[in-house]
Amino acid sequence: MTALRVLVTGASGFLGRAVAAELVAAGHEVSCFQRRPSGVAGARDLLGSVTAEVDLKHAVIGMDAVVHLAAKVSLAGDPRDFEAVNVEGTRSLLGAAVDAGVSRFVFVSSPSVAHAGASIVGSDAGPADPARARGDYARTKARAELLALDADSPLMRVVAVRPHLVWGPGDTQLVARIVDRARAGRLPLLGHGAALIDTTYVDNAATAISAALDRVPDVHGNAYVITNGEPRPVAELLDGMCRAAGVRPPAWSVPAALARAGGSAIEAAWRVRPGVDEPPMTRFLAEQLSTAHWFDQRRTRADLHWTPRVTLDEGFRRLAAAYAQPPAPGGRESG
């Protein structure tokens, strides 16, 4: 792999830190751009916001490549915030990168950009579809992915990667929310918990994104879904995460149709009177937990010259080891 000067946006987030650390380990000169320090050893921090064009123009100076992870990720919130960060922030970063002579651009997207609510069974990466994507996050990420791929040219080559349900030690989104809800007795199975779902251990997501950066000259203009390639029933995945954290897995269930209807109602209520946290259920979340979504990984692995290093079972062992460690002073436990 050729050593590059790489700007990683969103490197203070769970996946962003892992990607920046992986790129440092691969020998790249890494700069991290986000609103607070990334804590990535061996990388340079540039503090700023993707909503501030002057910050972006400064950040891309001298860069060979950009890996863009910064995004507003939430089940709820002001639609204008999703638009400003996910769409307009991406648009501004693309423009700044072109002006600065950046030659490679990796847009980190989500499989939700092509998910319209139905089961996904062994599919490849379908086209991003803002009109059918569920929720403000998915819709704005779909628009941003289309902007990124439309910017692909001989001068700046662009590839989109879509890691699916990334998790691991230190994850404060998927794992922590599952564990917290299970500990409080508020984590049901939707339906029978039999829907097959793909997930991605964080180290595998990071190595795949690093591989995509290396392969941009040969695979530009394409989108790739990234997963472990080990679909499991959702009940088994929840069980593995809960047991790793030492809490009881869900022992009660809610009909999937009822959860979807309830999620729609809760979303409507949150728009009128938002809660202090994300809503306990949304229609999108209910669909994600009750329908199959696993992906054909053959094109991803062949084109990116990549295979996952960490199996799901090994990931659960690492998660359990992290939860077994005492929490840092003044902080919450890992996961």
Contact between residue 99 and residue 56 where contact means Cβ atoms under 8 Å apart: no
Three-state SS for 307? coil
Give dist(CA 13, CA 9) in Å, integer: 9
Which residue(s) pair with 8 in the sheet? Answer: 32, 67
* Region for residue 156 given its phi and psi (left: phi exceeds 0; alpha: psi -120 to 50; beta: otherwise): beta
- Choice among 137, 201, 224, 323 that is catalytic: 137
User: CB count, 10 Å around CB of 220?
Assistant: 20
325 token code pair? 């460690």
105 token code pair? 């651009």
Contact between residue 238 and residue 178 where contact means Cβ atoms under 8 Å apart: yes
Which of 9, 18, 326 minimizes the C-alpha distance to 168? 18
Locus of tokens 């979807």: 260
Locus of tokens 């809660």: 275
Give dist(CA 284, CA 113) in Å, integer: 12
Three-state SS for 147? helix
Which of 243, 178, 229, 233 minimizes the C-alpha distance to 199? 229
Which residue(s) pair with 30 in the sheet? Answer: 6
Which residue(s) pair with 224 in the sheet? Answer: 161
224 labelled catalytic: no
The number of residues making up the chain comes to: 335
Which residue(s) pair with 171 in the sheet? Answer: none
Catalytic residues: 137
